[in-house]
Structure 1
């Protein structure tokens, strides 16, 4: 008899949530009532226990048959908003209701609602009231029971408290009395020890005897000892519980071809910019990649040279938890005007200009666990000024410049077969353009090409590619006459930064956003200065604030 094959419905979870939500809206089968500020909210005990850490502990503990739960310290409107979230998955936030919604989510310990409130308010939000009270009243923390303290520590992490603060509270609680040591293992599971620096791990944490029987500190120290391999050693306890997505813009050429070494971060929630720090050296025509929460800067040129005769092979990695740069193994070939991307658990560099400006077809991949680069199958032709993106585990390379002409090629790299395959070509030959994925579509924007008379002209048309049908479609409503720009996709939006105009010979500072549903560009702000030949990416930073990069470290053997 053959084994039964499980079949999964992609629509069932949403239909189940909608069904339960309809029952709640009608007040059908509700078996518990939450009360806040004298207002009663009927609900379903099983839904609350599934989504709320507070209710789960209450209902599975000593709550008994009681059907009314009175909640202190929260406003009815905030509680109602969180209940709507539990039954729909949608949290409606505004500057007027976010504070009371966050308070209700914190009391009920609804993790996803807390994350959304934190992301909406941004990294400059004030610490939650309970955290502030605990820091001012240490006795209050020491008197908490173990389950209550675990819940309290979890709330701190969700609201962006820094790990040293959370760890110090837990260590002080454990050290208050030897009878608490048997609870140490469960308590230590709440802490994210790799987020502590080696100095902090050797300090008060080491002094707590309860740690000697636990593997948390040795594992954290081992994580720090293998710095180059950290992206391959990621676990749940290595990343902060609360992060915010930013649009990063790194390096590039500014006014008068002055090279920039600045790293600028724009918060997606409100469009505000801040200077995050500096690269190891000013760069342009470089590449950027984000792997396992780490930021990598690859190659490029550190001196302005139109011929591109002296590109770099250096690679630097930024750790957002500690604000430090680390130089890792350099690429096997010097590159500028190339494409870098994350493919699986590796970083891939494709083509570009190498020494003396010669174009290359070579492709190589970096594996953090070994801190080494290895050659992959070469690209079909030597190419530079091309664009690329990854989608569904495949790497796409479009257009570029080769043998004195612009290209309309679209090639896809299949990592399992280790081969490049041709796809339907671009409608327009172009180079110095940008390619990004949004949902199930690739978008190709900007660039320039050679006219029949041999003059450079803009390619203003935007075209999109469907991998499922292998077809391009021209979207003339979102045309953009820029080259040497940068574009990244995030969820259902495209972000374009900088670039240059051939007609006016000027550099752009505007930041544009387009939602595929609207097929139109919207100006949402300006770069701190006009830029081209820069790099950009979407990068998650800790909610507690944007760390300022410190002086770079150098990996042994790569001076």
Structure 2
């Protein structure tokens, strides 16, 4: 077989550039728009990504789906001049447009355009209409690149671009030039290294000598080596620069009492749902807690058992940056139908049903830095199906079921004194209800109680509690006949998800929100399926992990209850 000899066309690159330039002039096949000073410039992603380091990092990251890219701090004239260069290879410069052109080239990180601007600035004898590649001041070029890189990192962090993409961009800028190393630490210090995985950190660190002397990367690797303690080791560089608050719903009992193992996120702005992960095993009657940007799942039951004889003590932690689960130290007591909450920098588990369905008054606390649980002062009575919330550093537990009856007790735990304090009791005894704090008020919603005849009936009245006056007030305008529901407070709003109706024997799928201004429930969406005995919380997801609009769920049909 004869050897293949490649034939190279000397004119093809120029004709290709001319062809792409013609498409741009005609506005054909443009798929992105750059905006500067309110002026829009349609362009082609592939051309921008090929010539602009900023556009390449942006389009390859998760923020690259945007169709309009807003560029701050540059003038339309400068941007148009740089775009003409990208599509023609010719940069038209004059003393009048030099400053705007350099600035646009800086922001887009078009190195060749920056060099041509520097050459023009340093050349006074160049023929008219021609810019030569004369020797430039390398330190000046590096200063432009350094300032542009810093602004790029800030902009990309706000837009939610993944850190490995930014990291690769910075490394490509550093290259192997010793001139750049003195400023490397300043630039690299703006990267949030803990958000990168150990695999993403190891290779570039070993390959780049300047990184070996930078303390930021070893600290990031140490952060990953102590996985269980990460919430306690969290710093501003371990938090996403762009995060969106979402309503998470986890686990629960669905149609035909089938257990749900999904972790679903709803954007608060539009009711859009997306499944962001799965539990290690389907659960119900469990608890959730959010600590330092991590999500914890505690206890519960993994098999449907009305007697609740085999609860779990397992605890799993979800890392939203990498979408991974980590099993941490298990609770000292197996628990279901209990309350879990964040108190300070720790997680507390209160009461619940344990082995063989026996109720417990035990209380324990988890400290991530040691990855251990330890006992706290017991709750005043053995209790299950109670509700709780934290407010201004105190833990409040209300209602529940104990000794064959529903309770109206309200107790608060004082961490500094290590004791439980009785407060003014609920107006209505109830269990399987929900408690949430909003602003300076604690709200108690739903649940059920035993009638004098021994039958289960709903507690439809909503009560609100003022910690400053230790008084409850009944809000009859927002009554809600549901039990085994979940409620969370966010800013001045209450979000209720799922639950069950004793009257219709159905599970609910609606998501309700109530605002103090109107004191009425408003339907804002539907769960992916009807649920009860689930858990919910407000959780900040990275910008690139928020639900997509096309994944909105349709109205589900209710199923049998319980």
TM-score normalised over the length of structure 2: 0.74
Write out aligned runs for 1:334-483 (5 A). Answer: 334-483=334-483
- SS of equivalent residue, structure 1 residue 145: helix
Superposition deviation, residue 432 in structure 1: 0.1
1:288 — aligned with what?
288
1:523 — aligned with what?
523
**8 Å contact kept, 2:253–2:531:** yes
CA distance in 1, matches of 2:202, 2:113: 27
2:205 is equivalent to residue 205 of structure 1: yes
Residues 1:276 and 1:204: Cα distance change in structure 2 (over 3 Å) = same
Given candidates 36, 45, 64, the residue that maps to 1:73 is 36
CA distance in 2, matches of 1:287, 1:433: 14
1:103 — aligned with what?
70
Gaps of 5+ in 2: 1-34, 41-65, 75-103, 115-140, 549-562
**8 Å contact kept, 2:248–2:537:** yes
2:487 — aligned with what?
487
Post-superposition CA distance 1:241-293 (Å, at most 9, x none)? 00001100000000110001011110112110011121000000000000000
Post-superposition CA distance 1:72-112 (Å, at most 9, x none)? 912299xxxxxxxxxxxxxxxxxxxxx999837x449xxxx
1:500 — aligned with what?
500
CA distance in 2, matches of 1:270, 1:344: 32
**8 Å contact kept, 1:320–1:547:** no
**8 Å contact kept, 2:193–2:237:** yes
1:316 — aligned with what?
316
**8 Å contact kept, 1:318–1:325:** yes
- SS of equivalent residue, structure 2 residue 180: helix
CA distance in 1, matches of 2:231, 2:336: 25
Post-superposition CA distance 1:104-140 (Å, at most 9, x none)? 7x449xxxxxxxxxxxxxxxxxxxxx99x959x6767
2:138 — aligned with what?
none
- SS of equivalent residue, structure 2 residue 171: helix
**8 Å contact kept, 1:321–1:547:** no
CA distance in 2, matches of 1:379, 1:174: 59
Superposition deviation, residue 380 in structure 1: 0.1
Post-superposition CA distance 1:422-454 (Å, at most 9, x none)? 000000000000000000000000000000000
Write out aligned runs for 1:146-161 (5 A). Answer: 146-161=146-161
2:514 — aligned with what?
514
CA distance in 2, matches of 1:139, 1:421: 70
Write out aligned runs for 1:191-230 (5 A). Answer: 191-230=191-230
Superposition deviation, residue 209 in structure 1: 1.1
1:249 — aligned with what?
249
Superposition deviation, residue 217 in structure 1: 1.2
CA distance in 1, matches of 2:226, 2:113: 39
Cα RMSD (Å) = 2.3
Superposition deviation, residue 520 in structure 1: 0.7
Post-superposition CA distance 1:510-552 (Å, at most 9, x none)? 000001121110000100100000000000111022599xxxx
Residues 1:515 and 1:547: Cα distance change in structure 2 (over 3 Å) = closer
2:174 — aligned with what?
174
**8 Å contact kept, 1:74–1:100:** no
- SS of equivalent residue, structure 1 residue 544: helix
- Report how many aligned residue pairs link the two structures: 432
**8 Å contact kept, 2:265–2:547:** no
Gaps of 5+ in 1: 1-71, 78-98, 109-129, 549-559
Superposition deviation, residue 146 in structure 1: 1.1
- SS of equivalent residue, structure 2 residue 318: strand
- SS of equivalent residue, structure 1 residue 453: coil
CA distance in 2, matches of 1:522, 1:460: 16
**8 Å contact kept, 1:287–1:339:** yes
CA distance in 2, matches of 1:358, 1:212: 56
- SS of equivalent residue, structure 1 residue 301: coil
Residues 1:419 and 1:386: Cα distance change in structure 2 (over 3 Å) = same
Residues 1:101 and 1:415: Cα distance change in structure 2 (over 3 Å) = farther
CA distance in 2, matches of 1:427, 1:278: 39
**8 Å contact kept, 2:406–2:429:** yes
Larger-Rg structure: 2
2:16 — aligned with what?
none
CA distance in 2, matches of 1:526, 1:513: 12
TM-score normalised over the length of structure 1: 0.74
Post-superposition CA distance 1:350-381 (Å, at most 9, x none)? 00000000000000000000000000000000
Residues 1:476 and 1:140: Cα distance change in structure 2 (over 3 Å) = farther
Superposition deviation, residue 175 in structure 1: 1.7
1:533 — aligned with what?
533
1:272 — aligned with what?
272
2:232 is equivalent to residue 232 of structure 1: yes
